[in-house]
Each structure stands twice: as C-alpha cells, then as structure tokens.
Amino acid sequence: MVKELARPSASLRKGAAPPTAWAFLSGKYVPIGEARISVLTHAFNYGTGVFEGIRAYWNESQRQLYVLHMREHYERLHRSCKIMRITLPYSVAELGEVTLEVVRRSGYREDTYIRPVAYKSSELIGVRLHDLEDAFTLFAVPFGTYIDVDRGISCGISSWRRTDDNAIPARSKITGAYVNAALAKTEAQEAGFDEAIVLTQDGHVSEGSAENLFLVRGGVLLTPPGTDNILEGIVRTSIMRIAQDEGIPTQVRQVDRTELYVAEEVFLCGTGAQISAVTSIDHRPIGDGRLGPITARIKDIYFRAVRSESERYRDWVTPVYPGSAGR
C-alpha cells in the first residue's frame, strides 16, 4: 500500500500562502484553498504559461503597502502572452484592479509578492499552442528577501546555458523556461555558491538564474543587451533611470565572461532579488571583495523609491489601501 505523506516542514513551505490569503481564478475572487486546477491542465503538463513577479513594499511610518511598477509588469505580461499566443481578456488597468483587490482581501501589511499567471488551461493531452483555452489566475504571498541584500553574494558561472530566443524566448516570462533557471540555481548552490550567472549559447554573459546583471568597468555601468537572451527586466530599467539621474555613465553592450572577473563591481537585480552586490565570481573577489560605491549608491536610492520615500520616483508605486494611510 502507498503511504500518505506528512505535511512538509516549515522550510519547505517558505514563500507559501497563509490560509487567509485570497486568489483570483477564472474571473472570481476565491479563498486560496479554493484556487485549484486540474492535473490535466495543459500548462501544468507542458509549461505553457506566462507569469509575472510583482513586489509590494510595506511602509511602516505611512502604514501603507505600495505595489511597485504595476503597469510595467502588466505591459510585459501582455507582451509575453503575444509571443505564447495566450489571450488575456483583461487590460493593463483591469489587471491592476484585480491585483489591488486580491492584496486588500488578503489584508497584507508586510512586504508581499504578487504572482499573476496567464496559461493554457485546456484539460487535454497534446503539445501545441493553438486551439486551446486560456485562463488567468493571481495570488499574493508575504515575502521578505529572496537573496540576501545586505551581505555580498558569491556566484559561479553555470555549466547550463541560457535558452536562446529561437529555442525558448527569454523575452517572454514563460513558466516552462524556468527549468533552465532551476537547473542553474541548484547547480550553483550545490557547488557552494549563492547564485548562478548564465552565459548565452555563444558564451557571452546573459544574466543571473532569475536576475539581470550589471557590472562596473572604468567607472562605467554596463549591462548585457536584450538580444543576449535576458528577461528585459523592470528593475534593470529602473536602475538605468537612477544611473541617468545620478549622472553615472551607462552602456548596454555585450559582456565577456572574464570582464566579470576584472570588474570593479558586479550586482544582480530583479523583483525577487532586488539589488544584490556580487562580491566573488568563480572564487575570484570582485573589486576588493566588498560592496562597491556605485552599487551602494544605486541600492540606497532604489530601496527608498520602492517604499515611496522618494518624491522623484513616486510614480513607480501604487498604494494598496484607500486614503493616504493603510488601515
């Protein structure tokens, strides 16, 4: 007889939703426990979904929760759907309304991670994108740091290459594509590194397992181009905006692997990772092996902006709760 399995331990449940959470599924708001899909679901079997990861930041002094770059995330979700031939029946504005409603119903007053997914929902066997039904779901979970942002992290260059645009396009945030990120991340952590850096098929620097990458050489901030199989990150764009506002020279160009070894500074960025200084790569210290001045400056500005503490970047955030203060 097959034994029933025990409930997983707390560490296996990190990032899980509390029982009081709400979700949006098939056009309805439902308690998280009722947000269930069939094992036959096409996206579950073949990875035919696209998704976003959106953060909301709690500002304790303002008693308000702020969703970061909501419009940009939903514009990207629409672009991902276009590539994957998924019909999303909601506009960017409507997706924003659903987001605020799910977070409000869940009642979060802490940093939160929001996960919208548009996916092929037909319950049948058959690999294709056409002649299938589409669905949309969204849920939110309390979420602190994904990668330590205070301590510098160690990275290893992955033996796994990033999928090419003509294989599984990184420009579309496709659920199935994250097998590539998972292979790279586990390889890196089992080798004793915190994170992986993945290269393109032709050996240029692409990005982290699920983060974009910046480096500093000769005082110039560099980042690989969208054509080097990166996800066109929203935090990446924000960092380029901060760099421009701060007068930090910035260049988007192809990057060689060994440029990382001799860089003055390297950092990874993304919604989950936020901004993480990389202090060693393949056992070589980056700069003097500590947080560098350009990374520190950008980080400081970014972390104030996301909690709506900066006048200049106030349009990056949307308050969740009515009025100027949360309940």
299 classed as catalytic: no
**Nearest to ligand PLP of 43, 273 (CB atom):** 273
Least distance from ligand PLP to the Cβ atom of residue 320, Å: 19
Nearest to 96 by CA among 77, 111, 109, 120: 77
Residue of 21, 68, 157, 231 that binds ligand PLP (CB under 6 A): 231
Give the up-direction half-sphere exposure of residue 242: CA atoms within 13 A in the CB hemisphere.
24
- Selected from 47, 53, 169, 225, the binder of ligand PLP by CB under 6 A is 53
Q: Are 255 and 222 in contact (CB under 8 A)?
A: yes
Choosing from 21, 234, 266, 286, the residue that interacts with ligand PLP (CB under 6 A) is: 234
Residue 235 C-beta: closest distance to ligand PLP, Å = 3
Helix (H) or strand (E) holding 83: helix 70-84
Q: Is 271 in the site for ligand PLP (CB under 6 A)?
A: yes
Among candidate residues 14, 82, 120, 173, the one labeled active-site is 173
Which of 134, 194, 195, 211 binds ligand PLP (CB under 6 A)? It is: 211
Closest by CA position to 117, among listed 149, 93, 90, 147:
90
The site that binds ligand PLP (CB under 6 A) totals a number of residues, namely: 14
How far CA 153 is from CA of 92, 213, 269, 281, 291, in Å, comes to 35, 13, 12, 9, 10
Could you say whether residue 278 binds ligand PLP (CB under 6 A)? no
Q: Which residues pair with 141 in a beta bridge?
A: 113
User: Vertex 267, ends 262 and 272: CA angle to 5°?
Assistant: 155
State which of positions 164-193 bind ligand PLP (CB under 6 A).
181
Binding site for ligand PLP (CB under 6 A): 53, 181, 207, 210-212, 231, 233-236, 270-272
